[in-house]
Every structure is written in C-alpha cells, then in structure tokens.
Chain A
Amino acid sequence: MLILFCVTKWLFSQVPSEVAMDSTAVENLNEVIISATRTKRQLTSIPLPTQLISAKTIAAANSIRLNDILEEQTGLLMVPDFGGVQGLQMQGLDSQYNLILIDGVPLIGRSAGTLDLSRVTVGNIKQIEIVKGPSSSLYGNEALAGIVNIITQTPGTGFTGRFYYRGGTFSSNDLNTELSYKKDKLGLYAFVNRFSNEGYDLVDSDDVNTVEPFHNYTFNTKINYEFSEKVKLFVSGRLYRQEQDNVASASSYNGESQIDEWNFHSKLELTFNESWHSQFEFYTTTYKAEEFLNDAADNLFSYSDFKQRFSRPEFRTVFKPNTHNSFITGVGVQFESLQRTDFFENPKFNSSYLYSQYEYTKNDEFNLILGLRFDRHNEYASQLSPKAAVRYKFNDKLAVKGSVSYGFKTPNFRQLYFDFTNATVGYTVLGYNAVTTIIPELEANGDIANLLVPLSGFEGNLKPERSIGYNFGINLGIDPKLKINLNLFRNEISNLTDTRVIARKTNGQNVFSYYNVNEIYTQGLELNASLKFNKNTVLTTGYQLLYAKDKKAIQAFKNGEVFARLTPTSPAFVLSKKDYFGLLNRSRHMLNFKLSYHMEKWNLDSNIRATYRSKFGLYDNNGNGYLDAYDTFVSGYSIFDFAINKTIFEHFKLGFGMDNFLDFNDPQNISNIAGRIVYGNVTINF
C-alpha cells in the first residue's frame, strides 16, 4: 500500500514537472503531418525529409504572407521573377518544379512558370507542411522537387473569433478577421484578409516603382458537418482578388492589373469500420490575371489576360487491416484549360490517375512506405511514378531514413502553345506544338530568312521533365536539449526543357522554341539543429550546401571548350572543370539562425532571426555562356529580423518588430528585398 502510494505520488509529481521541463519534446510527439501519406501521421515517424511550420512559429515571426515565413526555413529560397512575383526554390530547383497545395489540393496560376507565393496570406494557416524530394507517387505532376502543403484552420469548439491588424513601413496594412463556430455536428469558419501596400521605389533612375501600389482580399469560408460519426462533410470556398497599378517604363503609359482567383473544395468522409475509410473529394479552381496599359491620351495601348481552370474529382480509400499495415488507394480525373493572349489555340489538358501507397509501421521503430502512381495524359506518354522510403530507429538518440522517388513535370501550356512576338525587339517565341503551324505562316509572310531546325523535328511530343531523387537522413537526439537532423540529397533531372533558336528572321532576330535537352543535377546536404538552453531560451539553426550543375556544361569545361578573359583586351585562356560554378541564381551556402526567448514575468516572446545566402550569379557576363569563376557575382548577404510579442490578459497580444533591421537591399539584383520594415501589430481573441 505504501509502495503504491509512493509510486502514485511519484507519478503525479513527475508528470507535471516533466511537461513543464520539456514541453517541446511533448509537442514534438504531437506534431502530426498529413502530406507525406495523405493520412495523419506522427511527424517523427515519416521516412521522408519533412519540415513543419506551426501557426505558433508563424505568429512568433509576425509573418503576413507565405513567402515571409518560407524564406526563413532551411534550404528554401524566395526567388523574384518578372512582374514582382516570388517563387520558391527548393533543393536547388525552381518554382516551376514544386507543387504548392492548400489543404491537399493544388494552387494554380503560373503565368510565366513561377507561382507567386506572396499571393497567399498566412492569417488562416494552421500549419505548413513541407516534403522535400520528388513526390509524384502521391501528387503527380509538378511534384518534382517537393511539395508545400498549407493546412488551413478548422473550427474549434464553441464560438471564437480573432481580429488582427499589422501596420508598417510603405503604408503596408494587413487586416485579418476570423470567426469560428462549432456546436454538436456543425462547424462554421469564416476568414477575411485585406492586405495593401502603397508601393515603393528603390531605383531612382527608372520610371517604374520597384513595387507598384496594390491591395488584395482573401476570403475563406468552411463548413464541417457530421451527419454521424461515420459520415462527415467538409466544404470550403476561397476567393482572392488583387488590384495593382500597372506602369510601363515609359511614364506616359499607365493602367492596372488585376488577379482574381477562386476555389471550391469539398470532401465527404465515410468511415465504414475500424479498417475501412473513404473520402470523396471535389476541387475546382480558376485563376484569372488581366492587365492593360493606356497611353497618354487614355487610349488602350496594350491588354493581356491569362485564365486558367482546373477541376479534379478524386476518390480515395484507406484500408488498415491491423496496426502495422496500412494501404491507401486513390483514383481521380483532372481537367485543365487555359485562355491566354499570345496563344495560338486555347489548350485543354485531361488526365486520369491511380495511386496506391503501402505503409508498414512497427512500434515507432521501423517504418516503410512503398508508393506507385500512374498518370495518363491526353498530350503525353503515361507516367509511372514509384517511391520507396524506409526509416529505422536504433534507439531514442538515433534514427536513420532513406528514400528514392520519382517526380515529373509535364511541359506547361506556354512551352506548347505560346505564339509571341516581342513588339519592340522583334524576336518570336513559339511553343513546341505551335511551330508546325506558325512557321509556315511566317514563311508565307516573308519573315523567315532561314530555318535552322527542320519542321520534322517538331512532329513528336515534347517530353515531360523527370527527376529521380535520393534522400538520406539521420536524426540525432543527443540529449533532450540538443537535436540534430541531417539530410543528404541528390536530384537527377533529365529532359529539362530549354529554348533554342529554330529560325532566323529577316529582321535579324530569331525564332525560339522549346526542346528537351539538358540534364542537370542538384545535390547537397541540409542540416537542422535545435538547442534548448533552458525552458525559455531556444536556438534553432539550419544550413544548406548546394551544388546545382548542368551535365553538358561540366562536359564542355572538361573538354576544354570554355574560355575566359581577365580584362576585355587580354588573351583568352581555357577554363577547367573547377571553374564552373553551376546554374544561375543558386547559392552554395544558405544559413539561418533563430534565437527565441520567452520572458515569463512579462508574458513576452521575443526572437531574433538571421538568414544568410552566399554569392550567386544572375547571368553570364564574360560571354562564354556559362557561370564560371571569372563572372561577376552578386555578393552574399545577410538579413536580420527581430520580433517582440506581448500577451495581455490572455486575449490581447501586441507585437512590434523590424524585418531586415540592418536595411540591406540590392534592388538591381534582388528585387524582392525591400529594405528595413518596421511594424506593429495587435491581435484580439474573443
């Protein structure tokens, strides 16, 4: 009896202190990820390289748009593209090779290949899940470098609401209102975000601003209804609209650009018994971008539009015969269409797919995933995407994991159907499928001086770009205070699509089209570590080493075909393989630090964050066509941020911070870095 009493006392006295002492460890056990398997799984058990960003982390950084928080993560880089958009580079691969999902369904609207992530507010995000490495075995097209899945908030219990405002430099205003209701079987959720910015100019010598004034709205509503424990319905709608001034480099022209996006997502979940569970999902979305310019007399000078539709019904079933084994199978159809200025026809893509994934789990010690997906497409050869991943935990301090997977990306509409002639310079770009129609027309007009690639070269199909990814990771928990995760990666990409000159025009310019040529690889390592000094002070750090190279370029350097000069008039000399730097806009080193401190007495959270990126090249500037050691590089740079948030009476929170407080900027080379941003914010929960 006494012993029992003692044991009970020991248990009860231990448990709370254990929780208080090591709350992150407890949290880690509860961290759940959906994206890797399409079912809820404990993060640590996943045999793939994954990263999870919680709402708490986003709030601590006072982020407002998706790009704000992603650029602070290890190995992720936001790269500016034409028209002020920012795309994500992951494992050294560009925005067009990663798939961005909201609640498991894809975000569309890549007008020039880049999906702009500043479009997405983080105001309604519950967590962001990142799975690196090719993931086409589950997600199909575009999941070549990896996926980012944004999990949005769901109704909590009772009636709750939240109001958030952040104001800062450049008259930027971000306003969120969130209402949530849940009682018995019904859950309702509504969210509104308005984000505006007066724009700013970092380059005085031109007529345009670095960012023109804009404002945008995001609306999101959700309904959850439980017909019974076994039948649940989820319906979600999202609307996004952005209006922005459109100014041409000659100041007499101005106009507006507008983006409208909406999506509808519904899911019916059926639980038959402990082993069988099914979901019917229907998703449809439209993205429309329009812009015009008027001349000084207010007459229309130019207009362009881009309208993409995407619909996808999917049915999937999970079968779990026992605690060790689990199967998931899904089948779906995709319809995609695009209307766009400068296209020679309005293309439609239809595809159907079937995937299956098997998981074996043994007591958190051994995990295995085997997956396979088959995609049938109306324009391309069918794709078969396998994946195998395994994790083994030796003990509480050491676990290893490895995976091999396949990813593909079908050519986009632009690479197939583009028919564009630059009005000021006079060159022409044709999509692969447009060539056999448009070239004869240009020839009939007398625009073609000579054809460099015969039309017979365009009779087959442009092939999907494909990648095989290898990842190997080690998770070390040296003690509860110090955790280190290491991941080595290599992505082998073939059939990479590039442009080449196919004909010479009589105006001295060229006709370009797309073709499969390049083979590249990206490889490197990623290291993440967290060190907990005490219960209130945590340091996290991450590092990525990256080599991203074109195999043909390596060969050219090896063959001694590449030369450089030290000064414009000095003799040319041959370069060696070690002089080849790699692909454009890739940094060899990226580093981040975050030091968080919680001051209990004042209920105050503060953090200081830093990101560093080593030198990179934006273009070849010594004429040899490759980025080599004798080119001019953009110097490495660091950005430092800090944020303080104070909670008052549980329901109120005040925040203050400075992003990029050392005011680094380089608008010529890195147009998405605005310089120092000072802000304040307030959150009211009710």
Chain B
Amino acid sequence: MKSYNTYKTLIFLSVFVFTSCNDDEGSPLPADQYSQITNLHAPMTGGQGQEPSSGSFTKFDFATASVTTSDSDWDIAFRGTTIIVNGGTSTGDADEPERNGNAAAYIKSLPFSEVTSVVVSDFTQDSLEEGLAIPTGSGNGWYTYTGPPEHLILPIPGKTLVIRTHDFKYAKIEILSYYKDLDDSVAGNARYYTFNYLYNANENETTF
C-alpha cells in the first residue's frame, strides 16, 4: 500500500506544481480607452467548397462607428475571415467593393493597450501582387484555425490591427471573437465579429 500512497503523492505533486495562475491580468481596460462593436455580421457564400468565395463585404466606418453601405465612406470591410481596407487595388476576389479611399493597415504584435502610436511607414494597402494588408490564413494575420475536430477560428491574442482610415485618420482594433455572442460552441455562430477599437478623429494625429 506504500506504493499506492507514493503514487497518489506524485500525482498530487504534479498537479500542484503545474497548476499556476496569474490573477492580476483579467481586469478590463478603463472604459475611456476603447469602444466595442459586438456581433458585426460578415456573411459569405461559397469559399468552403470548390467554388470561389463570394458575397458582398460588410463595410465599417470609424467616423460614424457603424456598419455602412456607403460606396466611399468606409474604412475596412469584412467577409468571413477576410478583412479588406478601403485603399489599394483589387485582389481579384469576387464581389470586392471598389477601393476609392486611402485606407491602409498593418498588424502589430502587441496588446491593444500598449499600441499607443502609429508607425506610418509600416502601412500597406491591398493589392493583387502583395495580397491583403491584413493577411488571411491561420497564424498569418489576426486568427488561428484549430483544424479538426473543432474547426474554430480563434483571434490571436496580442495582435493589434492598426488602421489608417480612408481619410487619413488612425484607429486600432483588437478582435475578440469570430462568433455570435462570443459563443463558439455552435458552428452556425461563426462570422460575427466582436472587437474593441479606439479611433482618433483628428486628422494625421498618430497617437492614441
């Protein structure tokens, strides 16, 4: 029976040693440091099968803090996991809106609150040759794809999307979830974005 006790002790020890927790990192950001958009719907047709993905993009305008159907007053647009900017040239994707603004983007590997200024030289725009300013694909841009069996799209923590709007203002975004009401347990909840953002309405001002 001695062995059994040793065994239990070892299990206990291993549980004890490898369960550690940081308690101080769960507190939310102060309310004046971000705004939040919940459940922005970004539907898509095709894409999951042999046929090319299509369907119109859901456009977002920072100045009005809302989804828009305007042809020119939009900054970024969503369709499935793809995010495009209103700047640059067509990537050849079906049903892309015309890019007629000066929007651009880059991804910074820092938590949202720590991105306090914009590096103007880091911005890129969408193009056929260079791809999207916010790359798609698991681990390339803002998300990882877990693969089977869960097939989840999970935002990468610590990736902040830095955006130049179509009219030379700056914003930063932290995507929190790709699922309606943050609930990823149902596959049908996919393509609903929840994100935090901070928008500086003063033109050419590069700090947040």
Interface residues of A (CB under 8 A from B): 421, 423-426, 449-450, 452, 501, 504, 506-510, 539, 541, 543, 561-574, 588-589, 591, 593, 595, 610, 612, 614-615, 619-625, 629, 636, 638, 668
Q: Which residues of B contact A570 (CB under 8 A)?
A: 25-28
Whether B174 pairs with A539 at a CB distance below 8 angstroms is: no
The answer to whether B88 has its CB under 8 Å from any CB of chain A is no
Whether A615 pairs with B18 at a CB distance below 8 angstroms is: yes
Produce 1/0 per residue, B1-30, CB < 8 A to A: 001000100110011001010100111110
Whether A501 pairs with B140 at a CB distance below 8 angstroms is: yes
Q: Which of A421, A565, A588, A638 contacts B18 (CB 8 A)?
A: A588
Interface residues of B (CB under 8 A from A): 3, 7, 10-11, 14-15, 18, 20, 22, 25-29, 44, 46-53, 80-82, 91-93, 109, 111-113, 128-131, 136-140, 143-144, 146-147, 149-150, 152, 154-159, 174, 176-177, 182, 194, 196
Report A369 CB to chain B, min CB distance, Å: 35
Report A628 CB to chain B, min CB distance, Å: 10
Q: Which residues of B contact A620 (CB under 8 A)?
A: 144, 146, 154
Whether A636 pairs with B14 at a CB distance below 8 angstroms is: yes
Whether B14 pairs with A507 at a CB distance below 8 angstroms is: no
A-B contact pairs, 11 of them (CB 8 A): A424-B49, A425-B48, A501-B140, A507-B49, A508-B46, A561-B109, A569-B177, A574-B111, A623-B144, A625-B144, A629-B20
Whether A507 pairs with B154 at a CB distance below 8 angstroms is: no
**CA separation between A593 and B7, bound complex, in Å?**
9
Q: Other CB < 8 Å A-B pairs besides A510-B138, A566-B26, A612-B7, 5 of them?
A: A426-B49, A564-B157, A568-B177, A569-B176, A625-B144
Report B56 CB to chain A, min CB distance, Å: 15
Given A571-B111, A573-B25, A629-B20, the answer on whether A508 and B11 have CB atoms closer than 8 Å is no
Which A residue's beta carbon lies closest to that of B184? Answer: A568
Whether B27 pairs with A621 at a CB distance below 8 angstroms is: no
**CA separation between A669 and B12, bound complex, in Å?**
22
Whether A562 pairs with B158 at a CB distance below 8 angstroms is: yes
Q: Which residues of A contact B174 (CB under 8 A)?
A: 572
**CA separation between A588 and B28, bound complex, in Å?**
34
The 5 A-B residue pairs with the shortest CB-CB distance, nearest first, are A563-B158, A623-B154, A572-B157, A508-B53, A563-B157
Q: Which residues of A contact B49 (CB under 8 A)?
A: 423-426, 507
Which A residue's beta carbon lies closest to that of B10? Answer: A591
Q: Which residues of A contact B10 (CB under 8 A)?
A: 543, 589, 591
**CA separation between A506 and B54, bound complex, in Å?**
10
Q: Which residues of B contact A636 (CB under 8 A)?
A: 11, 14-15
Whether A569 pairs with B157 at a CB distance below 8 angstroms is: no
Whether B147 pairs with A619 at a CB distance below 8 angstroms is: yes
**CA separation between A426 and B80, bound complex, in Å?**
15
Whether B157 pairs with A509 at a CB distance below 8 angstroms is: no
**CA separation between A623 and B91, bound complex, in Å?**
27
**CA separation between A493 and B119, bound complex, in Å?**
39
Whether B7 pairs with A507 at a CB distance below 8 angstroms is: no
Whether B146 pairs with A621 at a CB distance below 8 angstroms is: yes
**CA separation between A567 and B158, bound complex, in Å?**
13
Whether B82 pairs with A508 at a CB distance below 8 angstroms is: yes
**CA separation between A567 and B174, bound complex, in Å?**
14
Report A449 CB to chain B, min CB distance, Å: 6
**How many pairs of residues, A versus B, come closer than 8 Å at their CB atoms?**
145
Whether A567 pairs with B155 at a CB distance below 8 angstroms is: no
Which B residue's beta carbon lies closest to that of A82? Answer: B148
**CA separation between A574 and B110, bound complex, in Å?**
8
Which B residue's beta carbon lies closest to that of A505? Answer: B52
Which A residue's beta carbon lies closest to that of B143? Answer: A623
**CA separation between A504 and B136, bound complex, in Å?**
8
Whether A508 pairs with B136 at a CB distance below 8 angstroms is: yes
Q: Which of B22, B26, B47, B82 contacts A426 (CB 8 A)?
A: B47
Interface of A is mostly: loop
Q: Which of A450, A506, A562, A622 contacts B131 (CB 8 A)?
A: A450
Q: Which residues of B contact A574 (CB under 8 A)?
A: 111, 158
**CA separation between A589 and B92, bound complex, in Å?**
52
**CA separation between A621 and B28, bound complex, in Å?**
21
**CA separation between A621 and B10, bound complex, in Å?**
28
Report A51 CB to chain B, min CB distance, Å: 20
Q: Which residues of A contact B128 (CB under 8 A)?
A: 450
**CA separation between A570 and B51, bound complex, in Å?**
38
Whether A504 pairs with B14 at a CB distance below 8 angstroms is: no
Which A residue's beta carbon lies closest to that of B33? Answer: A571
Whether A508 pairs with B25 at a CB distance below 8 angstroms is: no
Q: Which residues of B contact A567 (CB under 8 A)?
A: 26
Which A residue's beta carbon lies closest to that of B130? Answer: A450
Whether A589 pairs with B53 at a CB distance below 8 angstroms is: no
**CA separation between A165 and B201, bound complex, in Å?**
80
**CA separation between A646 and B139, bound complex, in Å?**
58
Given A426-B48, A541-B3, A571-B25, the answer on whether A614 and B14 have CB atoms closer than 8 Å is yes
Given A571-B28, A571-B29, the answer on whether A508 and B52 have CB atoms closer than 8 Å is yes
Q: Which residues of B contact A541 (CB under 8 A)?
A: 3
Which A residue's beta carbon lies closest to that of B82? Answer: A508
Q: Which residues of B contact A622 (CB under 8 A)?
A: 154, 157
Whether A449 pairs with B18 at a CB distance below 8 angstroms is: no
Q: Which residues of A contact B111 (CB under 8 A)?
A: 563, 571-574
**CA separation between A610 and B3, bound complex, in Å?**
11
Which B residue's beta carbon lies closest to that of A564? Answer: B157
Whether B50 pairs with A426 at a CB distance below 8 angstroms is: yes
Q: Which residues of B contact A566 (CB under 8 A)?
A: 25-26
**CA separation between A211 and B190, bound complex, in Å?**
31
Whether B53 pairs with A507 at a CB distance below 8 angstroms is: yes
Whether A568 pairs with B91 at a CB distance below 8 angstroms is: no
Report A505 CB to chain B, min CB distance, Å: 8
Given A504-B137, A619-B150, A636-B11, the answer on whether A571 and B113 have CB atoms closer than 8 Å is yes
Report B144 CB to chain A, min CB distance, Å: 5
Report B28 CB to chain A, min CB distance, Å: 6
Which A residue's beta carbon lies closest to that of B182? Answer: A568
**CA separation between A135 and B130, bound complex, in Å?**
46
Report B196 CB to chain A, min CB distance, Å: 8
**CA separation between A423 and B48, bound complex, in Å?**
9
Q: Which residues of A contact B149 (CB under 8 A)?
A: 668
**CA separation between A622 and B139, bound complex, in Å?**
12
Whether B52 pairs with A506 at a CB distance below 8 angstroms is: yes
Which B residue's beta carbon lies closest to that of A581? Answer: B18
Whether A510 pairs with B137 at a CB distance below 8 angstroms is: yes
Which A residue's beta carbon lies closest to that of B25? Answer: A573
Q: Which residues of A contact B27 (CB under 8 A)?
A: 570-571
Whether B93 pairs with A624 at a CB distance below 8 angstroms is: no
Given A508-B47, A568-B177, A636-B11, the answer on whether A625 and B139 have CB atoms closer than 8 Å is yes
Q: Which residues of A contact B112 (CB under 8 A)?
A: 571-572
Q: Which of B22, B53, B129, B156 contacts A624 (CB 8 A)?
A: B156
Whether A506 pairs with B93 at a CB distance below 8 angstroms is: yes
Q: Which residues of A contact B157 (CB under 8 A)?
A: 563-565, 572, 622-624
Report A452 CB to chain B, min CB distance, Å: 8
